[in-house]
Amino acid sequence: MLTVTGPGGQLCDGISRREVLRVGGLSLGGLTLPLWNLAESARLRGAEREAGAPGGGTGGAGATGRGGGTGEGRLPGFATAENVIFVYLQGAPSHIDLWDPKPEAPAEIRGEFRAIETAVPGVRVGEVLPRLAEQAGHYTLVRSVGCKPPGLPNHGSAIYMLMTGHDPGNFSPTGLAVPPSREDLPGVGAVISRFRPARAGGVSNVAVCGPTKEAAVVGLGQGAGLLGATHDPLTNYEDPTRPINLETFSLAGGMTVERLQRRVELEQRLADQASGGARGRAWSDQRRLALSLLQQSATIEAFRLERESVAVRARYGSTRFGQSCLLARRLVEAGTRFVQVTWPARSDDEPAAGPDGSWDTHRNNFPMLRDHRCPVFDAGLAALVADLHERGLLARTLVVAVGEFGRSPKIGAATTNNVGPGGRDHWPDCYTALVAGGGVQGGRVYGESDRFGAYPKSIPVHPYDLLSTLFHAVGVDPGTEYHDTLNRPRRLVDHGGPLLGLF
């Protein structure tokens, strides 16, 4: 409780009641919601560090690791990455046509594209990826990824598995998605935000280009779920080929940084006088952290793509996906720990012409890939890998590019879904992921599919192994357990472990 003892309406430390009213109590004071949420995230991480919770962040009764990641027994590849760029190819491209060609297979399997040599002797990709072929020395192709999603092999359950590292327990028997909720298990970016937060002044979890979308459900597997809103991604899905609106990072109502600074200082003095003081100090601390985000504007500046040269922007391609890859590079330069670049089309959209169309090629697979999807993808991802390497960032930035599954080996053959002429159906049994940087050795192929690209032939890899590898590389033991809102123990990944052979 505040006491007023001085004359003329003065508080005991000389602050006038008019000044208190001008502050407006403990109001937001001109802070927009994204800045407020970022400040709250930083405040909670700091509080948990002081309390001794591992990794910072929120979420239940702390966490415990289960071996293999730290100390003298550190495994290869642990904490070799400072940042992660997760390129999610929503809708699921054909692995056979992109990066696991089968030139010796029958025509109804190998398709229309020829295999081309890459910069690495003996490693070939589809002719639709000429720029990525030149960068093959910097990445590894994991060609033996596969799983069995619960229910039918539809997008929803496969997306949830890829994003959270767990089987969905609340999906329909057909594998269709349900709206996200706070009872969901956290997405990969939220886990990193919780257990490996960004350094002071940086942002832990950012999502750009587009949200995950399946049918009418938006944000599937992408949020923090039961870890709470603190670890949800900072999202910006505007088209980065145009100037990005940065009002969400600005002060409202004509507020200036200097005025906000004075308000924060005044609130701190009021909080120090309050009875108990803890709640008021926490609020004031949150305001100071938001102020620091304004003053340390590297993250905000990262969104100003117009700062890049015309040549650099052209290298990535004048598309939503290409410029989002450039934005991801700028964000990791600014200290962002995890950036997700999601292909902008809905996972189950009908394939259509244009740079932002879907990978869900149930029909017209070859013209869609040759003329629309692959030129955009090839330019954007190849530029990202090359640019990171040239700037000395690739060694500490893990890049993972993958869809939720692959495409059926046999063209025009329906397995569970309607497939039209020249189309490939869903195929979760075997597909490919590209992994680069962050301690991963480049210029290799890890695992092998069979002669038709239908099933893993050697070193089968579950999507959960991919996520375990990602956590391992960024310095989070995938065996870590935490407690949910009902105090039940949860693993970061349902099963599997890191692919140590990649490092």
Retrieve residue 443's tokens.
């210029």
Q: Quote the pLDDT of residue 16.
A: 43
Q: How far apart are CA 466 and CA 459, in angstroms?
A: 13
Average pLDDT along the chain: 83
pLDDT at res. 293: 54
Are 66 and 481 spatial neighbours (Cβ–Cβ below 8 Å)? yes
* Residue ranges in the chain whose pLDDT is less than 50: 1-29, 48-62, 66-72, 257, 295-296
> Could you tell me if 147 and 463 are in contact, meaning their C-beta atoms sit under 8 angstroms apart?
yes
Q: Report the alpha-carbon distance of residue 332 to residue 87 in Å, rounded.
A: 14
Model pTM? 0.83
Give the residue from 88, 93, 354, 356 showing the smallest Cα distance to 219: 88
Q: What is the pLDDT of residues 56-96, one digit of tens each?
A: 333 333 465 544 444 446 899 999 999 999 999 999 999 99
Beta carbons within 10 angstroms of residue 436's beta carbon: 26
Query: Given this model, what pLDDT does residue 274 score?
Result: 61
| Cα three-residue angle 350-355-358, rounded to 5 degrees | 25
Structure confidence at residue 60 (pLDDT): 35
Place of tokens 């598995």: 161
Q: In sequence order, which residues have a C-beta less than 8 Å from that of residue 406 and are 6 or more positions away?
A: 92, 93, 94, 95, 96, 145, 427, 428, 429, 430, 431, 432, 453
pLDDT digits (tens, 9 = 90+) for 355-395: 999 999 999 999 999 999 999 999 999 999 999 999 999 99
Best CATH choice for the domain 61-244+303-502 from the list 3.40.720.10, 3.60.20.10, 3.90.550.10, 3.40.50.800: 3.40.720.10
Whether residue 428 contacts residue 115, with contact meaning beta carbons closer than 8 Å, is answered with no
Strand partners, 341: 87, 208
The pair phi, psi for residue 187, each rounded to 5°, is: -75, 170
Block residue for tokens 């008019």: 18
